[in-house]
Structure 1
Amino acid sequence: MDSTDFTIGLIGAGVMGKSMALNLIDAGYTLHTYTRTKEKATELIERGATWKDSVAQLAADSDVIISIVGYPSDVEEIYLSETGILANAKAGAYVIDMTTSSPLLAEKIAVLAKEKQIHALDAPVSGGDIGAKNGTLAIMVGGEQDAFNAVKPIFEVIGQHIMLQGDPGAGQHTKMCNQITIASNMIGVCEAIVYAEHAGLNPEKVLETITTGAAGSWSLTNLAPRMIAENYAPGFYVKHFIKDMTIALESAKAMGLTTPGIELSLSLYKRLADKGEQDSGTQALIKLFR
């Protein structure tokens, strides 16, 4: 079967999910969609997606089910409840959770899916709203090689850097490495911009130089300009970054690791959320430094 013959069901039409869905439609896939707030799926429906009234209906009518929702509790509900994906997907279906979620939950879903002859992959992404719109996301995958091979053409529509990292849960563990790296880096980006401002420098000119050297990073290139422009619109929500860092910290502690960088970043982002910035983009962290 050619991958474009797969009917895809996508659950979640937020900042990331909507752009991913539009890219799949543009690539010629038949797309079903469901989200708790139907209005969020309006553009997808106008572009040709078929609305399904429930997770159960979407799962039953799709060959590949992709989810990208908010929290591990949301993932657990849509996969493991009686009206959820595993209870209603047909044997042979592929289920792909692209939410940043718990590695242990990913492993549990994979075990239960296998019992029902369903192929499960955990495949969180990185690249923010820009990567989702441009189809250039990094996709970190955990699961079986055959399942990965079968749906890789779908991944190639929405991402560029795609790698099977290992067994179920490996994708989520890799995403934790990603978030741990970003957590400390965001503090450095904020401090650098504020330092430049206080030194009387033009921070935009400073960025032109330091992004090309050893300090270069995705956050410095893409989020620092938003900080300078005081543009705090969410490419990735503060509240979701707090969720991710909490999972990473819990996972690290379970392995007996000490991670002071992420502990500091998490404490700062919690302070930011307490100031009412939970729905701002992660670049709003600079408000604490100004």
Structure 2
Amino acid sequence: MAGSNESRKSMTIGYIGLGNAGYPLATTLSKAGYRLIVRDADAGRAEQFSQENGNAQAACEGDINAYSDVDILVTMLPNGEVVRDVLLGAAGLAKGLKDGAIIIDTSSSSPFHTRGTAQLLSEVNASLTLIDSPITQAYQHALAKGDATLMVGCSNPRALEKAMPVLNTMGKHVFHMGDLGFGHATKTLNNYVSAASILGLCDALIAGQQFGLDPEKMIDVMNVGTGVNFSTKESFRTDGLTRRFESGYQLSLLLKDMKIAESVIASTGLQSDLSHLIVEKLADADKVAGPGADHTQVIQGWEKASGVQLKQSKQPES
């Protein structure tokens, strides 16, 4: 249940970060009837959102008082450092939040950094609760349809109960993984598995074409065989092989996530050559693809190393 109409009408949500993921997630909250106060580094995006959604108001950066009445503040930002700055920096919002407010961080961040942020928040206002709830999706553009998967870390049962209607509105699948930080740990390890499949796919496609196979047909086979994964069914089929490179997820962010995964794995004492290899390969590809590159451009790193460019395929019909 995503909460009654009355509970939604009585709750005000602050939303920070209207990028590729934040905009559709905030839209689902608006469509559900929540009052929103939104902000983005690009003030024009916040204004656009408020114009498209009658129950949303755009706030100016630095206006702490704009969030003084929000019940829940949702952040969707590039990393934990930005989240901490937004909450606790010179113009941090934490000092202006009302007692008992809940902060839901849907960004992809380090669980260790998130716990540190929570400690700093408690020094500003001990009544504030930080929940980590990063997202993933089973298919591209799932966020816009309310089909996101949320991995939740929360150490305060009462705050979690209050936040659940909002979480259930943003996502179709909501998993409470455990205490604060467990959500971010789950997200980074989920992305770790995905990144490992991307490296294997890049190897297979380059080697397959060198052998004489057609990369598009190879992916068609994988998608009805044991090689199937998110990249074969979604991003690489639609944006990698087609060379459109517009999946909406930057290669630099994938690399950032894998560095977090590497640190999480190392913290457990597990000796993993794979985590180091993934970071190394992604870093090399990121240098080749350049700033702002889509994560499907990772294939360009393999192409440069092998001297082979994959055959370009047509955009799939569905």
Same fold (TM over 0.5): yes
How far did residue 47 of structure 1 move? 1.2
1:109 corresponds, among 117, 122, 141, to 117
**Residue correspondence of structure 1 range 52-201 to structure 2 within 5 A:** 52-54=59-61, 56-113=64-121, 115-127=125-137, 130-143=141-154, 144-201=156-213
Out of 288, 292, 299, which is 1:279 matched to? 292
- C-alpha change, 1:247 and 1:97, in structure 2 (3 Å) is same
Shift, 1:82, TM fit: 4.9
Deviates more, 1:142-151 or 1:59-68: 142-151
The aligned residue for residue 11 of structure 2 is 6
Structure with bigger gyration radius: 2
CA–CA distance in structure 2, aligned partners of residues 46 and 129 of structure 1 = 26
Q: Give the Å deviation of 1:204.
A: 2.9
1:223 has 2:235 as partner: yes
**Deviation string, structure 1 residues 95-145 (Cα, Å, up to 9, x no partner):** 101111121222233345455312220111112862222222221110133
Could you list the per-position Cα deviations for residues 30-86 of structure 1 after superposition, in whole angstroms to 9, with x for gaps in the alignment? Answer: 111112221232431221221111352343131110001112221111122353232
Name the structure 1 match of 2:316.
none
2: CA distance between counterparts of 1:232 and 1:119?
38
1:267 paired to 2:277:
no
3-state secondary structure, aligned to 1:66: strand
Structure with the higher fraction of residues in helix conformation? 1
Indicate the residue corresponding to 2:45 in structure 1.
40
**Over the residues paired in the alignment, what is the CA RMSD in angstroms?**
2.1
- Structure 2 distance, partners of 1:213, 1:146, is 45
Contact kept, 8 Å, 2:286 with 2:298, in 1: the verdict is no
TM-score for both structures, normalised by structure 1: 0.91
Cα distance change of structure 1 residues 58 and 11 upon mapping to structure 2, 3 Å threshold: farther
Where does residue 30 of structure 1 map in the other structure? 35
Question: Paired residues, what number?
Answer: 290
Give the SS at the match of 1:171.
Answer: helix
Instruction: State the Cα deviation string for residues 158-203 of structure 1 (Å, max 9, x = none).
Output: 2222111111111111112112212211101222222343343343
3-state secondary structure, aligned to 1:289 = helix
Answer whether contact 1:234 1:280 (CA < 8 A) is retained. Answer: no
Aligned-partner Cα distance in 2 for 1:57–1:97 = 20
Could you tell me which amino acid in structure 1 is paired with residue 181 of structure 2?
A: G
Bigger shift: 182-191 or 145-154?
A: 145-154
Question: What 5-or-longer segments of structure 2 have no aligned partner?
Answer: 1-5, 304-318
**24, 28, 34: which one pairs with 1:19?**
24
Letter of the 1:172 partner, please give it.
H
Residue in structure 2 matched with residue 244 of structure 1 by the alignment: 257
Q: C-alpha offsets along residues 236-255 of structure 1, whole Å, 9 cap, x if unaligned?
A: 11111121111221232233
Q: Distance in 1 between matches of 2:10 and 2:215?
A: 50
Q: 1:276 to 1:201 in 2, by over 3 A?
A: closer
Contact 1:121 1:142 (8 Å CA) reproduced: yes
CA distance in 2, matches of 1:219, 1:4: 39
Identity percentage over the alignment? 23
Once the two structures are superposed, residues 185-233 of structure 1 have per-residue CA deviations (whole angstroms, 9 ceiling, x without a partner) of: 1101222222343343343333233123222211221122121101212
